[in-house]
Homo-oligomer: A and B are copies of this chain.
Amino acid sequence: MLEPRETRPDLASLRAHVCARMDAMFERLLAIPDAPNARLYAAIRHATIGGGKRLRPLLVLLSGRLLGVPEAAALRAGLAVEAIHAHSLIHDDLPCMDDDDLRRGRPTVHKAFDEATAVLAGDSLLALAFEILADPETHPDAAIRSALVVSLSRAAGPAGMAGGQMIDICAPALALDLAGVTQLQRLKTGALLAWSIEAGAILGRAPEAKRRRLASYAACLGLIFQIADDLLDCEGEEAKAGKRIGKDEAAGKRTFVSLLGAEGARRKAEALCDEAIGHLAPFGADGALLGEVAEFALTRDH
């Protein structure tokens, strides 16, 4: 049951709650063993505890709330997708990929440890995500757990996020048009965001019509976040971002900003925000918090 409207928490307090729960759950999952593989756990902890916006788990929670999903189940699914997100950041930061030294204002894993440890830490988080989902603690119905595993592995794999990273690497040579940049984003960052929303629908056994509306909302949200990222990459402040900026332009990659101009990109994001909120109509007042996420995505400065 959802709480009556007057007790509905605001987005900021829910986000703070999700951040605290993610840290606590990663702490429990990643107790450092008294064994020679302790270094690997230390590296995984470096990448997962005490940082990050925890946007994906927040989305699972908000989507789940629309469908009466118990918070504990939503947070387990959120932990899984956050593990995959952290996996992708570790590998993205490697010297052979984006070659970044800084992430969330701290040294990246391969700088704080070494490259081999970073490869293994990323691999470990990818494996852990599926253990989390398939564990009976996530949901008593194994069919639901299996559906979560299938959908998340597709979202993370070569037809999803990894495929998007591949296109991103080839992007300077591809001279992508708007459709190409949109497809790149849909896979590279959109797939995990869309899964986060979908996870709430799977856990809540959403009827097909609601599932489709949530998927349409998620597609808009992914684009808004990417456009905002592109704008921050060319206009933002490195200190607030906690990472190097201006990378895309330096790499000669086409972005929404390079294709539409900053003003055109901002207008597109605003239109997508209206569209996203429209897709939430069937959920009435309960959809308001997801609407706020779309607005936050549009206006964030880091």
What's the Cα separation between A94 and B97 when bound, in Å?
Answer: 13
Contact A37 B96 (CB under 8 A): no
> Shortest beta-carbon distance, A86 to chain B, in Å?
13
Instruction: List 8 A-B residue pairs with CB atoms under 8 Å apart, sorted by A's residue number.
Output: A36-B184, A37-B159, A41-B158, A116-B169, A127-B153, A127-B156, A131-B157, A146-B146
What's the Cα separation between A72 and B128 when bound, in Å?
Answer: 27
Of A11-19, A118-126, A210-218, the one touching chain B: A118-126
> Shortest beta-carbon distance, A107 to chain B, in Å?
16
A174 within 8 A of B: yes
What's the Cα separation between A97 and B143 when bound, in Å?
Answer: 38
Chain A, interface SS category: helix
The count of residues in chain A whose C-beta lies closer than 8 Å to any C-beta of chain B is 60
Chain B residues closer than 8 Å to A180, beta-carbon distance:
36
Selected from B114, B135, B143, B166, the residue in CB contact (under 8 A) with A120 is B166
A142 within 8 A of B: yes
What's the Cα separation between A35 and B180 when bound, in Å?
Answer: 10
Selected from B122, B150, B169, the residue in CB contact (under 8 A) with A134 is B150
Contact A162 B40 (CB under 8 A): yes
With contacts A44-B158, A119-B91 taken as known, whether A166 is within 8 angstroms of B131 at the C-beta atoms is no
- Give the B-binding residues of A (Cβ under 8 A): 33, 35-37, 39-41, 44, 87, 91, 94, 96-97, 114-117, 119-120, 122-124, 126-131, 133-136, 141-143, 145-147, 149-150, 153-154, 156-160, 162-167, 169-170, 174, 180, 183-184, 187
Selected from B37, B126, B157, B162, the residue in CB contact (under 8 A) with A164 is B37
Contact B119 A97 (CB under 8 A): yes
Selected from B41, B147, B167, the residue in CB contact (under 8 A) with A37 is B167
Chain B residues closer than 8 Å to A120, beta-carbon distance:
91, 158, 162, 165-166, 169
Chain B residues closer than 8 Å to A149, beta-carbon distance:
130-131, 133-134, 145-146, 149
What's the Cα separation between A203 and B141 when bound, in Å?
Answer: 18
Contact B37 A187 (CB under 8 A): yes
> Shortest beta-carbon distance, A260 to chain B, in Å?
20
Contact B158 A37 (CB under 8 A): yes
Contact A134 B134 (CB under 8 A): yes
> Shortest beta-carbon distance, A146 to chain B, in Å?
4
What's the Cα separation between A149 and B187 when bound, in Å?
Answer: 24
Contact B157 A124 (CB under 8 A): yes
Chain B residues closer than 8 Å to A131, beta-carbon distance:
149-150, 153-154, 157
Contact B124 A162 (CB under 8 A): yes
> Shortest beta-carbon distance, A202 to chain B, in Å?
12
> Shortest beta-carbon distance, A238 to chain B, in Å?
24
Chain B residues closer than 8 Å to A127, beta-carbon distance:
126, 153, 156-158, 160, 162
